[in-house]
Structure 1
């Protein structure tokens, strides 16, 4: 059955990554193996690769990531991050809260790979804590995704509401509790940070002012994207340009800085992920999953949830996964899909996308902190299982 080929390739990918094989070769190799198993011709294979590298979405993503690397380097080199964290630490008086707030703040920007933006902030804030590289990765990755359950700027919510024919406001009302639940489920890791009396100042106005001044480059990007609907690449590019001018970079100095900041390995890794997704589309490898699950004698909502989880696991993109699963669910239910089922499938699909190296935020975060992917995935099991269990229980109660 075609579905087994896709599942076998993904299982092999996970085994290799579990054995600490390099990410980029594994993903590119999996793309080749998938093409062979689904008998994609050499011409079609090369055409698919050409489509990947010329796809505007891929090009834009690579540009955004490159600009984020430049911005992160500038903010670190000129002391913005250090000054902001010092002030924010005194303002919040709680290191645990600080570590959760930083990735959540950057998570307001619905951009692919945005975890790379918050990773250096988390690294700075956790520099003198007992957190391991894996725990830092967990905090950065887990708390970044709180808003995707309730922020209407995320395509996943827009796609779900449109495909299911339900008002967006009603969908958000039903999913907001899960954003709050995610915030609570990450607390056990945050509790690893000892409660220490931080040095504080009573002049909160000056502290807040200092935070705003030093976070202004990041805040400018967030506001441009959220309020002015500016493209991510344009917003980050504009802020980078302003910083280069403010700190009087000559073209030669800017070129030297870019050579220090840009991580070519990361850009190639992202290209590999986009290529793998394109191969999945070209081979229509996901189509067989629906038929496979329909043949199993298990409750309907479990079938839909399992299908959603697998699609999320394989694609690693929440919005893309919602675009695959919900047309199937709507068709299978005769167009009469109720909110409890929508929410459960949404959570199940989201959960799958959180467990895969195909998810750019996970890959980039683990790469940034030089963490062990296996340990990070283990840390995700309990909170994500709790989230999915609660969603299933609520479905059974309110269906």
Structure 2
């Protein structure tokens, strides 16, 4: 039976989350917002600053924290090298000639950019999407949402995204298993994108679309000639991505079979480093080319977020907040709340996957351990990922959404209304998938 006293631990954690969300809403740095939330959590459970410092130090020294920082750092470096050397653009150019249908062309460019975890990457594909759409007379809100939606179709299952890697690390589940469990998400996103957005695109002459794409490539200084299909060139320019993904999954499986006691993260890091080296060699760049990237503000900010997440995770453990919350209504009500609503709201407020995974996953994963439900970890991880992603996509402060609407001159409110129903269907599918896994 629920009593006021039994709800107090849950109220304390909600207060810490509320403080975190307010900080994010006030545009305080995400890492600092999470750290503030962890400090308030410690105070709420009757501990002081020294207790927080001890918990923070332990959280930062875990092997899991260091591995995750290495993986995310390598991914960010790979993304930066591909961007700074224009290799990502050349990959795009080599694939343009395969685009024969106007509707597919509209979705292709943001989906291709979506394979790389670039913050605000939707703006990178926006010029090409605009050129494709020039002969189609589309309104700005629809064009903005097409570019925004297809930019994120891979985000729940693509192993290069920090949110997926963080979920794998926190759940202590191999990355390949996470990717396989969440593999229906890209199919769902593509189907919803086609039904709600691409179906509204009028039919257009293929020649007109091809001329627009060629003009856009010329404007971006990529090509002055009509784009021609080149699978060989596409494979060459995409080799670092193939090495990073294929190598990570392959080495992870090899380590599990041949060296069962060895952390699988070593295989992921080795593959990503090989991918970075491959790109440097292809572009004739030396190791010195990477030095400015290693000390970039973007990389430092992401590593700080990783550190803040594990500090928060450790404060949850040290304050025994998870055990206290698990007692509420035998744990069932609190478990559903933390798995569905917290990822959704954090995702909606922060607008990025790392935020909802880092803020809410340590809580419900800890509750699963406390309740002896470790065998259901993947069900709840999948539910949490779909819930959080629906919040991220519908977030009005999502960086990609804001920048895309600005680029196309779209009214934010009109564009946002186009997102609500598909995002709620993503959340609904998460519930359905959760039941199917059970």
TM-score (norm 2): 0.62
Partner residue, 2:349: none
Measured after TM superposition, the shift of residue 389 of structure 1 is 3.2
Cα distance in structure 1, aligned partners of 2:383 and 2:9: 23
Cα distance in structure 2, aligned partners of 1:208 and 1:331: 47
Where 2:251 maps in the other structure, the secondary structure is coil
Measured after TM superposition, the shift of residue 237 of structure 1 is 1.4
Where 1:231 maps in the other structure, the secondary structure is helix
Partner residue, 1:227: 250
Q: Any residues of structure 2 matched to 1:62-211 within 5 Å, and which?
A: 62-93=69-100, 94-99=104-109, 101-102=111-112, 105=115, 115-116=117-118, 122-129=122-129, 139-146=150-157, 180-187=187-194, 188=196, 197-199=209-211, 206-211=229-234
Cα distance in structure 1, aligned partners of 2:323 and 2:430: 26
TM-score (norm 1): 0.67
Measured after TM superposition, the shift of residue 242 of structure 1 is 3.5
Partner residue, 2:273: 237
- Give the CA RMSD over aligned residues: 5.0
Cα distance in structure 2, aligned partners of 1:96 and 1:330: 47
Partner residue, 1:316: 357
Q: Is contact 1:137-1:371 (8 Å) kept?
A: yes
1:354 and 2:386 matched: no
Alignment CA distance shift 1:351-1:256 (3 Å): closer
Alignment CA distance shift 1:252-1:308 (3 Å): closer
Partner residue, 1:386: 425
Measured after TM superposition, the shift of residue 98 of structure 1 is 1.5
Aligned length: 357
Alignment CA distance shift 1:236-1:176 (3 Å): closer
Measured after TM superposition, the shift of residue 62 of structure 1 is 2.3
Cα distance in structure 1, aligned partners of 2:14 and 2:184: 32
- The superposition leaves residues 350-398 of structure 1 with CA deviations (integer Å, 9 ceiling, x where unpaired) of 33433678x9xx9xx84998789x9999887543422343565788999
Structure 2: any 5+ residue segments left out of the alignment? 1-7, 131-139, 215-225, 253-265, 347-355, 406-411
Partner residue, 1:51: 58
